[in-house]
Structure 1
């Protein structure tokens, strides 16, 4: 892979160069010391991947990510000194299309472990990049007497897209909500807290043994796949181990299609690759309502594009219309506490 490095510290740039030098199939395309320089470099020479710092003078990594994805789109991996300390910026960058985030490998101490983790992230993005990538009559609104589930899948660009959808749902929303976002388990608790700032519904990470409850949002929270068991409780499963998407939207959609006793609305948002498309088609074939985000409003038009190609979506909608459609589909529960 040809990789661009964006970091204002020369010592950090050199550390990243040394990590990449461990792999003969990786080479540095260019390095930039500021966000503005990175935008210009991408416009002039778009690489296979950008390693993007967040905190830089002038244009920071969030704005640089937004500009690059708008003008010269390419895969972006956030690499910064402390992902945890900059969680809000990480989710903003992912909302603009960054695929993942990881800490900068330690310049001293356990450098090898950090380097191996970074290379593993790069390998995963390489696999996703190499992966191959219509509306019809809407189903009737879900009735208030039925157990209802809203299942949302997202990847690159997902955090802000999910936040927009949750922000538009009322406090008396009559369904249970599950969110499957491709994100490292290290960042899942922070993302749940961050989404909670936008949602009128409580948001937390899903634990083994949880049940999906009306008026609550559960977020998949490990590098294994979230799945619904036959007894109606949630579990994390390692298989299929070969899937590069973790946690997988397809695995969750398949499990709820098999075990959820009630109507499901599946929503597939922005993301790279094809995860969720086959699962969404399976839900549609079972008679459930399915929605895919449209091209114009997607930060990365991969997963919803794959869903459209498979005719998996009953409706293809811009992001700013999805929450309103969900309010129409889920009849409010008159017994809900305001």
Structure 2
């Protein structure tokens, strides 16, 4: 894979080069600040950019945003300050970065630590960028109607910001239970849930096995496990990746809901994201009568997942992220008026 490195610290650049070259990757260019990265990417778009967060002149968030506007390509945030700069990581992911990983470093004996974690991320991104996808079918579950209805959401690249805008537009008394599968690193899931909770009146929490879904509450799948919703609205987390390159998988979530016999008045949503995860699962839900909504191309950072759903006829509605909360509120308001 042809890879560009963006980092202002020479020792860390050397470590990154060693890790990449040891696995057969090619370093096509190096930039020591975000501004230079934007320039270099415009002149030579690589297969992947390893983007640091904290840099002079132009930081990683702004550089990611500019690259995605001018010469879009896969971007992986590689930073030594993951935990202390969680808000910046979410901003970068909202701007189009695919994922985040800690910068490899020299250990006490001179060996490099963290290199395998970086290489593993690169393998997954390579598969995603090629739209590689193998679905895992959830086991059939006994049918059972569940109250409240569900709002099931799948998202990936650009998802954190889209989720914040969507959830931020919902009232605290929103009548549906919300379940979310966002492609994110497992070490970062708790911070994502906390950050989203601070952006909305909806209660947002990390999903736990055995927990029940509730109206006006959102549960987000951990980044290293699949989330299934069993009959009765009970959460089940399963270890991945299995045959899926997406963990958590939106298709696995959607399949569990379809096979669990949930209310056909429920809604499935696909937000911005690379690849096609969730599109087939959404089509299956539409075919059994669900309302299905895809984010439009104009407001998506990457129109992969929602675009795939639109192309295969899985989406009943296509709308901007700014209009989506209003559409959902109207849908459920009409539903409950009809049920009275």
TM-score of the two chains, using structure 1 as the length reference: 0.92
Q: How far apart in 1 are the matches of 2:254 and 2:98?
A: 21
Matched, 1:314 2:316: yes
Between stretches 321-330 and 71-80, larger displacement belongs to 321-330
Q: Write the distance in 1 (CA, Å) between the matches of 2:197 and 2:335.
A: 22
Q: What is the rounded CA distance, in whole Å, between the counterparts of 2:331 and 2:104 in structure 1?
A: 47
Deviating 4+ runs (over 3 angstroms): 109-113
3-state DSSP of counterpart to 1:305: helix
Structure 1 match to 2:126 = 126
SS at match of 1:299: coil
Q: For the residues of structure 2 that align with 1:97 and 1:113, how far apart are their CA atoms? A: 27
Query: What is aligned with 2:273?
Result: 271
Contact persistence 2:93–2:157 (CA under 8 A): yes
Quick check: 1:179–1:218 contact (8 Å CA) kept in 2?
yes
Contact in 1 for aligned 2:151/2:179 (Cα 8 Å): yes
Matches within 5 A, 1:1-338: 1-24=1-24, 26-109=25-108, 112-131=112-131, 147-238=148-239, 241-262=242-263, 263-331=265-333
Name the counterpart of 1:141: none
Maintained 8 Å contact 1:6/1:34? yes
* Offset at residue 222 of structure 1 (A): 3.9
How many angstroms apart in 2 are the aligned matches of 1:119 and 1:314?
Answer: 39
CA contact (8 A) 1:173 1:332 kept: no
In structure 1, stretches of 5+ residues that fail to align are 134-144
Question: What is the rounded CA distance, in whole Å, between the counterparts of 1:315 and 1:113 in structure 2?
Answer: 47
- Give the direction of change, closer, same or farther, for the CA distance of 1:245–1:109 in structure 2 (3 Å limit): farther
How far apart are 1:108 and its partner, in Å?
2.2
How far apart in 2 are the matches of 1:43 and 1:295? 22
Structure-1 separation of matches of 2:78 and 2:256: 34
Q: Matched residues in 1 for 2:185 and 2:266: separation?
A: 26
SS in 1 for 2:116: helix
Alpha-carbon distance, 1:259 to partner: 1.3
1:238 CA drift (Å): 3.2
**Which SS does the other structure have where 1:21 is aligned?**
helix
Shift of 1:106: 1.9
Question: What is the rounded CA distance, in whole Å, between the counterparts of 1:231 and 1:146 in structure 2?
Answer: 8
Instruction: Indicate the SS of the match to 1:117.
Output: helix
Per-residue CA distance 1:19-70 (angstroms, 9 max, x = gap) = 001112x100100000000000010100000000000112100000000001
The SS at the match of 1:331 is helix
Q: Shift in Å at residue 147 of structure 1? A: 2.2
CA distance in 1, matches of 2:155, 2:240: 20
Provide the aligned C-alpha RMSD in A.
1.8
Give 1:332 deviation, angstroms. Answer: 8.5
Deviation at 1:239, TM superposition (A): 5.9
Q: Distance in 2 between matches of 1:324 and 1:232?
A: 25
